[in-house]
A and B are shown apart, each in its own frame.
Chain A
Amino acid sequence: MTASISRRDFLARSGFVGCSLAASPLLTPVSFAAAPWDTRLVVIILRGGMDGLDVVQPYGDPALAQLRGSLTGGPDRGAHDLDGYFALHPDLAPLMPMWRAGQLGFIHAVSTPYRDKRSHFDGQDLLEAGTHTLAGVRDGWLNRMLQVVPGVTSRTAYTVGRGDMRVLQGAAEVANWSPEAELNLSSQAINLLELVTESDPALHAALSEAQILSQMAEHDGPRDKGRHIEIAKFAAQRLSDEARIAAFSLNGWDTHRAQTRSIGRALSRLSDTLLTLQDTMGSSIWAKTAIVAMTEFGRTARENGTGGTDHGTGGLMIMAGGAVNGGKVHGDWPGLGAQQLYQDRDLMPTGDVRAHAAWVMRGLTGLDRSTFERTVFPGLDMGQDPGLIL
């Protein structure tokens, strides 16, 4: 179309734009459809490959001390005994009350189907796609679950923070929020922006969502220190309201060297995040909440030449919240002996991280097993119920 736009057209058009925005589900301020369920799910992607053997340390396995030097761990090195066999890294000490209350648990020796190339980027893509291979997959498993339930609105699920969260990308509508969003524009400028961007659906959609979200963020209190804390607070606030799902990332797990120092910082952020979620939600929402934290792969069983660990296979999944069956290290422990390692280097994966995520979500939502095995994680065999949700 080449006709030029007159001022009169524009005025008519901007009026129209105003109306259509007000009528859009993104801007409707009241009367949300009832959320499809009442429980809360938080998915945290631990990017970089968390060393599960250093977080939940199998000090009861005699091979651990032979494989590792500075990273031997165990209660003798300040870790907190969990069950006489595993011990929790000292930097997660603030979570011990949560463990004792049965609201923190672990699943050891799990992985995605990803093998051998040990690339962060592919590993994370597969973790978030939730499929067996990456061929042709464009959406994430959390989004696919949203696609099958009725009553999902634009405020049912949030990705929080600036990172790319493929796990929640897809056809179902999802909101995004990140700290420091701000936009002060005249209403005219907004209308003109609408006009120039409406030929570009992607740009236009992002603009529409950004405006509403920055308005909402204005109601938040003064900024707290640490982006991860801001993110956890925001997620907890939304989950205390109409949101049911939140997903975000915690980075900093790629500990190739001087791991005793580098993993400590990442673990402190994780610990702060979980405690902030708990504190901000309050006990009645916390009681209905399950948090799962997962990583693209574990790391080498052996310490490397620079006090760190390299990319591995079997890893650790963390779950927390009042709805989880915690106080236990779940999973099928393969051992660290000479014949027990994967390719003589990594913790052998004995469980599929997707199956555990599926059981958690089934416990929270009551959706059919077949939904998880066919749609959310196509081709997955969930196996026996590991009893992760109370």
Chain B
Amino acid sequence: MRTFNPELAEIRFGYGLSPMVDPPHSLAQMLDGITGPDAVQTTFPIEDFARFRTRMVAAQKQRKIRRDNRGTARAEQARKQRNVLNRQARVAMAGWLGQTLLRRAHTPTAFRERLVAFWADHFTAMGRQGVVRRGTSPYIEDAIRPFIASRFEDLLQSAVMHPLMLDYLDQTRSMGPNSVRAVRRGPDKPSGLNENLAREVLELHTLGVDGPYSQRDVTQLAELFTGLTFNARNGFKFRKDFAEPGAETVLGVSYGAEANLSEIRAVLRDLAAHPATARHLAQKLAVHFTSDTPDPDLIDALEGAYLSHGGALMPLYQTLLEHPASWRTPLSNVKPPIDFISSAGRALGVPTDHFEGRQEKWLRRWVMAPLVRMGQAWERPLGPDGWAEEDTAWITPHSVAERVSWAMSTPQKLTQDLPDPRGFVDAALGGFAGDAVRFAAAAAESRSEAIGIVLMSPAFQRR
């Protein structure tokens, strides 16, 4: 460790500087912040998935009433009730976005929030339709947040076997072609494998697309995964009658002679321990936290830490923070839109009660719709590979134009009074403020334009 810098720690590994929260004074404080009491989770609560499932159960009930009473007033009433449930979930989701922004604005341990976001993106999952579409924040609360300081295999199991992931990647209907259930259904009813989850576990979650797996491994893993399913009432469920009988071979190892969950856990454990997974995760972490073209030595160091500590994540983070490449300037990665808005909220000191009593429409207008226009719809990435890391994906003319209009118009919605732009330069940029931005903040005609210009400066757009 050579050049730890509190401001850089906050900008590069957190959500930027805050006028209210002091930056960390040491690496040890940053690391302790990951395992200490989760204060912002308590202060700004988000529904867990068990509670979220009661929404799914309620929606299913209305669906059944509708099905059983087609064409009647009862069915019509159930349809309306379902719309009410959908709306409630949509409103709740906007509330969780508000809580997420407040966590990021007020946390004294911002690195922890960044890691939650990093792993939530690594294990991208979202519901497809109806109430489940709103389930991403509860999924992160359950499947990701509690595991970011554990071993990668724990995180992997928790994410891959979570109901939202099973739903998102079509696993719930994948059936062994020779399973009890498929045989009972007979040849006329279509039933069989769906490779989607198995492929993405290998390609995205563990080995990486360049990893040493073949189409045969994908298919075998898909067979091994049969039986992973869930229902809204009770959550995750392993259904033996969906499971393909007989053993499967994945990367040369045989699993699942007996169809049971421990064999699936075993293959996930082995995939987590694979050297290709170490390399893949090392590369991703280095890119995410340092640069689109990270120092190869940093990647090697991360890979080594992962392998020598059996996939434990804390030593991985420690290695990241201790490596000199992590503290190199100038600022490098462009903040994606969500992080741009999150860090603007932090720099502006958005009050803790600021979203209370706001309608969903308000958040949609000032946060969600602009995010869509900047190319990063909240909790709707385009695919299971999550959001792009490359700066070029975010610095498109269109997206940058949207950032400008947001930076010029929305800060005044996030705080009672816009700060004095001259002081805001220091609060937002600290030692990274240059002469040009200092001059511009003072020279602008209006406060809102001055704040907008500070937020659009390279020192704020990059980290």
Contacts of B405 in A (CB 8 A): 182-184
Asked if A330 is an interface residue, CB under 8 A from chain B, the answer is no
Asked if B39 is an interface residue, CB under 8 A from chain A, the answer is no
The reply to whether A181 and B398 contact each other, CB–CB distance below 8 Å, is: yes
The reply to whether A120 and B398 contact each other, CB–CB distance below 8 Å, is: no
Bits for A106-148, please: 1 = Cβ < 8 Å to B, else 0: 0000000000111111100000000000000000000000000
The reply to whether B375 and A162 contact each other, CB–CB distance below 8 Å, is: yes
Q: Provided the pairs A4-B435, A202-B395, A203-B395 are in contact, do residues A306 and B192 lie with their beta carbons within 8 angstroms?
A: yes
Asked if B396 is an interface residue, CB under 8 A from chain A, the answer is yes
CA distance A119 to B411 in the complex (A): 40
The reply to whether A303 and B190 contact each other, CB–CB distance below 8 Å, is: yes
CA distance A257 to B452 in the complex (A): 45
The reply to whether A162 and B396 contact each other, CB–CB distance below 8 Å, is: yes
The reply to whether A185 and B449 contact each other, CB–CB distance below 8 Å, is: yes
- Which label, helix, strand, loop or mixed, suits the secondary structure of the B interface? helix
The reply to whether B436 and A199 contact each other, CB–CB distance below 8 Å, is: yes
Contacts of A69 in B (CB 8 A): 190
Bits for A197-220, please: 1 = Cβ < 8 Å to B, else 0: 111101100110111011000000
| Interchain CB contact (< 8 A) of B400 among A10, A192, A206 | A206
Which of A35-43, A172-180, A319-327 makes up part of the contact surface?
A172-180
Chain A interface residue bracket vs B? 35 or more
The reply to whether A121 and B190 contact each other, CB–CB distance below 8 Å, is: no
CA distance A119 to B438 in the complex (A): 47
Residue of B nearest to A6 (CB): B439
Chain B interface residue bracket vs A? 35 or more
Contacts of B175 in A (CB 8 A): 305
Asked if A19 is an interface residue, CB under 8 A from chain B, the answer is no
CA distance A303 to B193 in the complex (A): 10
A195 to chain B, nearest CB (A): 5
Which of A238-246, A287-295, A307-315 makes up part of the contact surface?
A307-315
Contacts of B458 in A (CB 8 A): 196-197, 199-200, 203
The reply to whether A206 and B190 contact each other, CB–CB distance below 8 Å, is: no
Residues of B within 8 A of A (CB): 170, 173-175, 177, 182, 190-196, 199, 203, 209, 214-215, 334, 373, 375, 382-383, 385, 388, 391-393, 395-402, 404-405, 408, 434-440, 443-446, 449, 452-453, 456-458, 461-462
Residues of A within 8 A of B (CB): 2-5, 7, 10, 69-70, 116-122, 162, 164, 169, 176-178, 180-186, 188-189, 192-193, 195-200, 202-203, 206-207, 209-211, 213-214, 251, 254, 256-257, 303-308, 310-311, 343, 345
| 12 chain-A/chain-B pairs, Cβ below 8 angstroms | A2-B435, A4-B438, A176-B397, A188-B444, A189-B445, A193-B453, A195-B439, A197-B456, A202-B395, A203-B456, A257-B170, A305-B177
